[in-house]
Amino acid sequence: MSYPRYLEAYKNGYLDEVIAETFHLLEQCSICPRRCKVNRIKDEQGFCKTGLKPKVCSFMPHHGEEPPISGRRGSGTIFFSCCNMACVYCQNYEFSQLGQGSDTSFQVLADFMLQLQDMGCHNINLVTPTHVMPQILKSLSLAVKGGLKLPIVYNSGGYELPEIIKLLDGVIDIYLADMRYADSESAVKYSSAADYPAYNQEAVKEMYRQVGTVQVDADGIIKKGLIIRHLVLPNSLSGTAKIMRFISREISQDTYISLMSQYTPYFKAQEYKELSRRVTYNEYEEAENIMHKYGLYNGWTQDAGGLERFAGVNIKPSVSTKVVPQKIKLKR
């Protein structure tokens, strides 16, 4: 099958079918685990505070993603406002939680995609797409008419309905998904999503079923596959051991993982003592060791910038999200 796959879905009518089905779901919104049941076609708003039109904060070539996504020319990133999660430590809280951005028509969103392609970006990177997925698909259809041919990166916080992700089979080539929590206690306390682990695990399994292990071209640019991001939180709050065991046993030891050290106590995190500092060197090293214990060697770790050697030491927040290849041998 040729890629990006949405070109075939556009030709054979499947993309139109998914657009129709998901817009129908917006009438009593049930496109994410919240199932708010508001009529977003009539511009009613539920948890995500988004009606019919998608809200966009910015779009640009982004050079701070994982190496095969950013490449040399950047990832064509569209940052959507609002979210179906409510993470108290979100580094993008100005637009994810506070709603900065502008309502955008489907045609304008399609034009953003085409502009990013004209800028030479390697892909179209949809950041926080879950709550506006039907609208994105409508815009994608318009962009295809305009000549779009870049692969789509579905860059998700991972709070997804597996049955909705299943509809994207044949449309999305690259999934970049968080696995943020292993336990309901942390998920509800810090992201208002008690059922996150259950939905997250099933959704990520479906993503892997669709696109499999990362495949790159001759230049090292990703064309297809799943990358799982795991943000290491202080005091083991993200449940790294359970998540790595799940990936190893339920998905594949070949899975590419981006192990992230960049946690910074943004937004409301200072209100929670256990979240009010960066992770320590020891905590991050322990997370790496756990990952390797379960036979997971594909992917990337972040540099040590900003990590603290001793727990309880607060530092000035950093916005660095640079990802560097792991300095370990791949298992193959």
Structure tokens at 106: 């489907």
Q: Please report, rounded to a whole number, the percentage of residues in the chain having pLDDT higher than 70.
A: 91
Check residue 294 and report its DSSP letter: T
User: Per residue in 43-53, is it b (16+ CB within 10 Å) or e — as a string?
Assistant: ebebbbebbbb
pLDDT, one tens digit per residue, over 26-68 is 999 999 999 999 999 999 999 999 999 999 999 999 999 999 9
Structure tokens at 153: 């990166």
- Which residues, at least 6 apart from 95, have a Cβ–Cβ distance to it below 8 Å? 57, 79, 81, 82, 101
| Cβ proximity of 257 and 298 under 8 Å | yes
For residue 171, is pLDDT > 90? yes
Mean pLDDT for the stretch of residues 16-25: 98
Structure tokens at 316: 């000035």
- Which residues, at least 6 apart from 291, have a Cβ–Cβ distance to it below 8 Å? 240, 244, 257, 259, 297
What's residue 3's pLDDT?
Answer: 76
| Cβ proximity of 308 and 268 under 8 Å | no
H helices, E strands: number in the chain: 11, 11
Task: List the Cα angle 191/244/255 in 5-degree steps.
Answer: 105
pTM of the model: 0.92
Report the alpha-carbon distance of residue 19 to residue 22 in Å, rounded.
Answer: 5
| Cβ proximity of 176 and 207 under 8 Å | no
| Cβ proximity of 275 and 237 under 8 Å | yes
Instruction: Give Cα 244 distance to the centre of its chain.
Output: 18
Q: Which of 183, 189, 172 is nearest to 130 (CA)?
A: 172
The residue with tokens 């090292």 is 220
What's residue 65's pLDDT?
Answer: 95
Mean pLDDT for the stretch of residues 193-203: 98
| Cβ proximity of 124 and 78 under 8 Å | yes
pLDDT, one tens digit per residue, over 236-254 is 999 999 999 999 999 999 9
pLDDT, one tens digit per residue, over 253-277 is 999 999 999 999 999 999 999 999 9
Q: Specify the higher pLDDT residue, 155 or 331.
A: 155
Mean pLDDT for the stretch of residues 153-178: 98
What's residue 303's pLDDT?
Answer: 72
Mean pLDDT for the stretch of residues 168-175: 98
Report the alpha-carbon distance of residue 187 to residue 197 in Å, rounded.
Answer: 8
Structure tokens at 86: 């409510």
For residue 322, is pLDDT > 50? no
Report the alpha-carbon distance of residue 293 to residue 210 in Å, rounded.
Answer: 27
- DSSP3 helix / strand / coil % (the chain, rounded to 5): 35, 15, 45
CA 198, 123, 115, 91 dihedral sign is: positive
What's residue 308's pLDDT?
Answer: 65
Report the alpha-carbon distance of residue 53 to residue 44 in Å, rounded.
Answer: 11
The residue with tokens 């959507």 is 80
pLDDT, one tens digit per residue, over 201-238 is 999 999 999 999 999 999 999 999 999 999 999 999 99
The average confidence (pLDDT) of the chain is 92
Burial class (CB in 10 A: 0-12, 13-18, 19+), 40: buried
Binning pLDDT at 50, 70 and 90, where does residue 304 land?
A: low
